[in-house]
Amino acid sequence: MSAAKNLNYEEFKLSQETYTKFASYIYELAGVNLPFNPKNEALVKNRLAKILRAYNKTSFEQYWMFLKSAGPAETQEFISALTTNMTSFFREAAHFTWFGKAVKTHFETLYSMRIWCAAASTGQEPYTIAITVCENIPEKLRPSVRILASDIDTEVLKKGALGYYKESEMSGISKDLMFKYFDRSTQDGETIYRVKDFIREMVHFSQFNLISEKYEFKRPFDFIFCRNVLIYFDDKTVSKVVENLSSSLNSKGYLLLGHSESGNIKNDLISPMSKAIYQRKAK
Ligand SMILES: C[S@@+](CC[C@H](N)C(=O)[O-])C[C@H]1O[C@@H](n2cnc3c(N)ncnc32)[C@H](O)[C@@H]1O
């Protein structure tokens, strides 16, 4: 182990001035708002310390100088470190009970379905969407369902696309669904679950930054899940993102936000339906 890896990073002070440089940069890159307070200071310090260690940097200021002239891979690593990827299967489960019924209703009159999971993290959410679709439509309709799973963090997208999960990452899913939609194997004495091929094939993983100026998709979506990411944005960014998401919906398409995020969402294109669910007004 190198000398730098043995250093105790608690000894290094993160000055408010350097903190502000990191916070402004992650805001510029991802819209993530980290105002200076003890909790955020500890978060930035802990998460960036791991990168400091990896690059043998001995101060946060030295890492900042490096980051300013770094290439895309190092910038991506910085984004990855300061975004929070917590997720689980069937998180905020009431949404999936609603979604299962909405899927059935959709196919009563339409023949295809486009879904976007816009902050997909390590894949548990888009796979929950795919499983819910499969539980509610006949097998022959599966090829007409497309699910785009995007995130700003390419590390989580790689994991999502592979679709391997440890036992500890399987919370939220019933034994019955686990058996139906996952293959089980053992690696080094540990049980590993892999999402079955036909489910993985329904989901396409791709990087997308929600703070992009304009969203340009060839065709609008019938359902957009953008859950538990707006909490990291300030009000100005939330309104812009909600405007762009709403514009990316089909007439009468649905936008699902996180349960704690729907408090003061106001946009003329959408109407509230039920808890954290909005519907695009008829075009
Ligand atoms: C807490 S996770 C939520 C995951 C999932 N939607 C859920 O509800 O379980 C938030 C995700 O948002 C992503 N994220 C943060 N800023 C983003 C941005 N500007 N564009 C796209 N994704 C972003 C993070 O990388 C992270 O994976």
Q: What is the pLDDT of residues 84-128, one digit of tens each?
A: 999 999 999 999 999 999 999 999 999 999 999 999 999 999 999
Q: How far apart are the first and last CA of the chain?
A: 61
pLDDT of residue 133: 98
CB 60 within 8 A of CB 18: yes
Residue 9 has pLDDT above 80, yes or no: no
* CA 189 to centroid of ligand 1, rounded, Å: 32
The verdict on whether 222 is a catalytic residue reads no
Predicted confidence band of residue 4 (pLDDT cuts 50, 70, 90):
very low
Give pTM, 2 decimals.
0.95
How many whole angstroms from 227 Cα to the centroid of ligand 1?
8
Domain segments of the chain: what residues? 4-82, 94-280
Distance CA 41, CA 19 (A): 7
- How far does residue 126's CA lie from ligand 1's centre (Å)? 12
Contacts (Cβ under 8 Å, ≥6 apart) of 108: none
Cβ atoms of 103 and 129 within 8 Å: the answer is no
**Residue of the CA atom closest to atom 16 of ligand 1:** 30
pLDDT computed for residue 8 by the predictor: 55
Task: Write the burial class of residue 59 (CB in 10 Å: 0-12 exposed, 13-18 middle, 19+ buried).
Answer: middle
Question: In angstroms, what is the span from residue 230 Cα to ligand 1's centroid?
Answer: 8
Asked if residue 149 has its Cβ within 6 Å of ligand 1, the reply is no
Residue 47 annotated in active site: yes
Q: State the sign of the Cα–Cα–Cα–Cα dihedral 55, 33, 120, 72.
A: negative
pLDDT tier at 71, thresholds 50, 70, 90: very high
Instruction: Check pocket membership of 81 for ligand 1, CB cut-off 6 A.
Output: no
Ligand 1 atom nearest residue 258's Cα: 8
Query: What is the share, in percent, of the chain residues with pLDDT greater than 90?
Result: 90
Could you tell me the pLDDT band of residue 262, with boundaries at 50, 70 and 90?
confident
Q: Give the pLDDT score at 156.
A: 97
Q: Which CATH architecture has domain 4-82?
A: Orthogonal Bundle (1.10)
Q: What is the dihedral of CA 213, 218, 222, 225, to 10 degrees?
A: -40
Q: Is the CB of 153 inside a 6 Å radius of any atom of ligand 1?
A: yes
What torsion do the CA atoms of 98, 103, 106, 110 make, to the nearest 10 degrees?
A: 170
Do 283 and 249 meet the contact criterion of CB atoms below 8 Å apart? no
Average pLDDT, the chain: 94
CATH number of the domain located at residue range(s) 94-280 in this protein: 3.40.50.150
pLDDT in tens, 16-61: 999 999 999 999 999 999 999 999 999 999 999 989 989 999 999 9
Asked if 202 contacts 162 with a C-beta cutoff of 8 angstroms, the reply is: no
Minimal-distance CA residue to ligand 1 atom 2: 85
Give the C-alpha distances (Å, rounded to integers) separating 129 from 15, 110, 274.
43, 18, 18
Q: What is the pLDDT of residues 174-217, one digit of tens each?
A: 999 999 999 999 999 999 999 999 999 999 999 999 999 999 99
Surface-to-core class of residue 246, CB atoms within 10 Å of its CB (0-12 exposed, 13-18 middle, 19+ buried): buried
pLDDT of 1 > 50? The answer is: no
Same topology, domains 4-82 and 94-280? Answer is no
Average pLDDT over residues 148-157: 97
Say what the pLDDT of residue 253 is: 98
Reply yes or no on whether the pLDDT at 148 is more than 50: yes
The alpha carbon of residue 80 and the mean position of all alpha carbons in its chain are separated, in whole angstroms, by: 11
Residue 138 and residue 107 in contact, taking contact as beta carbons nearer than 8 Å: no
Q: Give residue 3's pLDDT.
A: 43
Closest CA to 253 of 282, 226, 227, 230: 282
Beta bridge pairs of residue 166: 192
